[in-house]
Amino acid sequence: MADALLQIDGLSKRFGGVIASDAISLAVPKGQLHAVIGPNGAGKTTLIAQLAGEIAPDEGRIHFDGSDVTALTVDRRSRFGLARSFQITSLFLDFTALDNVALAVQAHAGHSFRFWRAARREEELCEPARAALARVGLAGRGDVIVSKLSHGEHRQLEIAMALATSPRMLLLDEPMAGMGPEESARMVKTLRELKGELTILLIEHDMEAVFALADRITVLVYGRIIASGPPEAIRANAEVREAYLGEQEVAHG
Amino acid sequence: MSVRLNARNAFVAGVIAILALVPLYAAASGNTFVMSLFTRIVILAVAAVSLNLIMGFGGMVSFGHAAYLGIGGYAVGILAKEGMNSGLLQWPLAVAASGLFALTVGALSLRTRGVYFIMITLAFAQMIYYVAIGLDRYGGDDGMTIYKRSQFGPLIDLSNKTAFYYLCLALLLAAIYLVWRLVHSRFGMVIQGSRSNERRMQAIGFPTYRYKLLCFVFAGMLCGLAGALLANHTDFISPALMHWTRSGDLIVMAVLGGMGTVFGPVIGALALLVLEEALSGITEYWQIILGPLFLLVVLFARGGIDGLLAGINRG
């Protein structure tokens, strides 16, 4: 795909005898929301970690906006416009919510070799941070120490931090993990608003959310892509139903 | 960041007032030992403040921080021995040499984490300790007396004990103010964020290594200055300046007073050295009392003495 923002070619990663990524190739065009689903242990988080630069692939290349980013470090990729959120909440727990997001803004506001002015008083950092908080529904919660926020709020803050880096693409690792139905619904709403504006790679177990949001879905099983296509095609795919969706379809009656 | 009147700030103001009044008390009572003890406290507080910058705010537990005391001290001692007594030469060199050493140690150790980081910083400190033992011209194992304190011409006479004490105190307060500005600046936010969650810092786009390295160098330079002061205070340098137990003392001061608060290490230095003096007056096995006391602070007052005061504040 010529206009793909993210292009992955033959990405492979082994951990000892376990093949976490088996020649994964996929392309995400600009503005699309591409969901990756698969059972536990299918290698979804490993895929995100390779895209974000935390794990180096054994083989394969990753192109972002036409440039090969395979060898770039995590922070370089972030400054390039690739932002990730974490499946297991990864925040600055001893800081306020606003501090958390302001740090993400600061990371993209030039270098931080500034030693004198109080960062918390810089409107240049606080204002975009407040905007990002409002965007995910955390307006008014900025002054709360993060360890005192609820799990759902942590998940929202994860997204706010990724957004605050003004990314071109979001890599979201199970943003709805552990959320109640109400919180999930709010997250779906947030993601729907972001869709189109940003390119998104979404890993999620909540099938309802995935089928509601995704333009394309890729199904990963044991590190291998077994199907990729628009939601209707995936829903109809016999192999996918057998490998993954089956049990849930039954559960839904 | 506005300054409020509360128990903790009142306590801090009280401590500063006491430190400022020590020479008056010493002059009135004729007790010169108090002057000497408090000069030591103030100097080691500078060192503890510098350690707290990397350990309390940056999460970098350096177990070799006394090395900079040694480097700063030897810079003064070696130059004095070679007949160069100007403080304007000695002190900048003490600071620069410490910074350079910190750059070397940091460049290697900051690539590791946890216990490995602690061990590498300790290893470097031990290395410089043995280098000092090997310096036969400068006293070797026995150390060396400095016959002339750093000269600052008409500016200040360091052999005047009161003047020297106030200089040390002024430098301590300046160091605290500097660290306070630093940890709240953009740079400081990066340092604190790296302590809290370095992985996330990188994920949002910070090349954390270079910021931590610079912070490590700042702390080394500040401690190097403390070393220069200490050499002037004791008129003597020896490898004992940088013995690993002294690095341990500095850690104890920072933990005892309260890591991650700017003033905590000063309280820690004061508490540790005063207790040491008081308890060693009671029994020669004073460490048997100090040990459990320290244990109690670590177990029940995680924020150190400063944390306790903040707790009173919250009611």
Q: Is residue A235 part of a domain?
A: yes
Q: Which of B179, B182, B186, B197 to mutate to test the interface with A (most CBs of A within 10 A)?
A: B186
Residues A104 and A74 in one domain: no
Whether the predicted pLDDT of A22 surpasses 80: yes
Q: Is residue B288 part of a domain?
A: no
Q: What share of chain B has pLDDT > 70, as a percent?
A: 97
CB contacts, 8 Å: B208 with chain A: 75
In whole angstroms, what is the distance from residue B152 CA to residue B249 CA? 31
pLDDT confidence bin for B315, thresholds 50/70/90: very low
Tokens of B259: 């890591």
For residue A229, the tally of other CB atoms under 10 A from its CB is 15
Tokens of A128: 């975009």
Query: In this complex, do B204 and A78 lie within 8 Å of one another by their Cβ atoms?
Result: yes
Last residue of a domain, one of A142, A166, A190: A166
Give residue B1's pLDDT. Answer: 47
Alpha helices in A53-180 (DSSP H): 74-80, 97-106, 123-135, 151-164
Last residue of a domain, one of A166, A193, A224: A166
Q: Into how many domains does chain B fold?
A: 1
How many residues does this entry show for chain B?
Answer: 315
Residues A63 and A186 in one domain: yes
pLDDT confidence bin for B265, thresholds 50/70/90: very high
Name the DSSP class of A144: S
**Per-residue pLDDT averaged across B261-284, rounded?**
92
Alpha helices in A23-149 (DSSP H): 44-52, 74-80, 97-106, 123-135
In whole angstroms, what is the distance from residue B272 CA to residue B256 CA? 8
CB contacts, 8 Å: B199 with chain A: 54, 90
CB B211 within 8 A of CB B57: no
CB of A119 less than 8 A from some CB of B: yes
In whole angstroms, what is the distance from residue B223 CA to residue B47 CA? 5
CB contacts, 8 Å: B307 with chain A: none
CB of B87 less than 8 A from some CB of A: no
Nearest chain B residue to A88 by CA: give it: B200
CB contacts, 8 Å: B185 with chain A: 114-119
Residues A71 and A184 in one domain: yes
Residues A77 and A172 in one domain: yes
Residues A16 and A139 in one domain: no
In whole angstroms, what is the distance from residue A242 CA to residue A226 CA? 11
Residues A200 and A100 in one domain: no
Supply φ then ψ for residue A145, to 5 degrees.
Answer: -65, 135
Last residue of a domain, one of A166, A192, A207: A166
Sheet holding A199-203, edge to edge: A82-84, A169-173, A199-203, A33-37, A216-221, A224-229
Q: Which of A89, A77, A19, A25 is nearest to A51 (CA)?
A: A77
Q: What share of chain A has pLDDT > 90, as a percent?
A: 83
Give residue A2's pLDDT. Answer: 53
Give the range of the structural domain holding residue A153, as residue numbers without chain letter.
94-166
**Per-residue pLDDT averaged across A174-180, rounded?**
90
Q: Is residue A88 part of a domain?
A: no
Residues A35 and A71 in one domain: yes
Residues A172 and A253 in one domain: yes
In whole angstroms, what is the distance from residue B64 CA to residue B110 CA? 13
Tokens of B211: 């910021």
Q: Which of B314, B100, B132 is nearest to B217 (CA)?
A: B100
In whole angstroms, what is the distance from residue A138 CA to residue A150 CA? 11
| Residue A54 or B7, more confident | A54
Give residue A41's pLDDT. Answer: 86
In whole angstroms, what is the distance from residue B19 CA to residue B39 CA? 9
Average pLDDT, chain B: 93
**Per-residue pLDDT averaged across B260-267, rounded?**
92
Whether the predicted pLDDT of A251 surpasses 60: no
Give the range of the structural domain holding residue B185, as residue numbers without chain letter.
28-247
For residue A104, the tally of other CB atoms under 10 A from its CB is 32
B236's enclosing H/E stretch is strand B236-237
Q: Is residue B144 part of a domain?
A: yes
CATH no. for residue A73? 3.40.50.300
- ipTM at complex level: 0.88
Q: Into how many domains does chain A fold?
A: 2
CB A203 within 8 A of CB A36: yes
| Residue A5 or B306, more confident | A5
Q: Is residue B120 part of a domain?
A: yes
In whole angstroms, what is the distance from residue B245 CA to residue B66 CA? 9
Whether the predicted pLDDT of A244 surpasses 80: no
Residues A75 and A115 in one domain: no
Q: Is residue B275 part of a domain?
A: no
Residues A180 and A72 in one domain: yes
Nearest chain A residue to B213 by CA: give it: A113
pLDDT tens-digit series, residues B89-126: 999 999 999 999 999 999 999 999 889 999 999 999 99
User: Which 3 state secondary structure label does DSSP give A229?
Assistant: strand
CB A190 within 8 A of CB A135: yes
The residue behind tokens 């003495």 is: B305
Q: Which of A27, A87, A26, A24 is nearest to A54 (CA)?
A: A87
Residues A127 and A203 in one domain: no
pLDDT tens-digit series, residues A58-98: 999 999 999 999 999 999 999 999 999 998 889 999 999 99
Tokens of B218: 């700042």
Residues A250 and A173 in one domain: yes
pLDDT confidence bin for B178, thresholds 50/70/90: very high
CB of B192 less than 8 A from some CB of A: yes
Query: In this complex, do B187 and A90 lie within 8 Å of one another by their Cβ atoms?
Result: no
pLDDT confidence bin for B313, thresholds 50/70/90: low
Tokens of B100: 């350079």
pLDDT tens-digit series, residues B26-58: 999 999 999 999 999 999 999 999 999 999 999
CA distance A124 to chain B (A): 12
The residue behind tokens 């395979």 is: A70
CB contacts, 8 Å: B187 with chain A: 112-115
Query: In this complex, do A114 and B214 lie within 8 Å of one another by their Cβ atoms?
Result: no
Q: Is residue B162 part of a domain?
A: yes
**Per-residue pLDDT averaged across A26-51, rounded?**
94
Q: Is residue B107 part of a domain?
A: yes
CB contacts, 8 Å: A118 with chain B: 1, 181, 184-185
CB of A123 less than 8 A from some CB of B: no
Q: Is residue B70 part of a domain?
A: yes
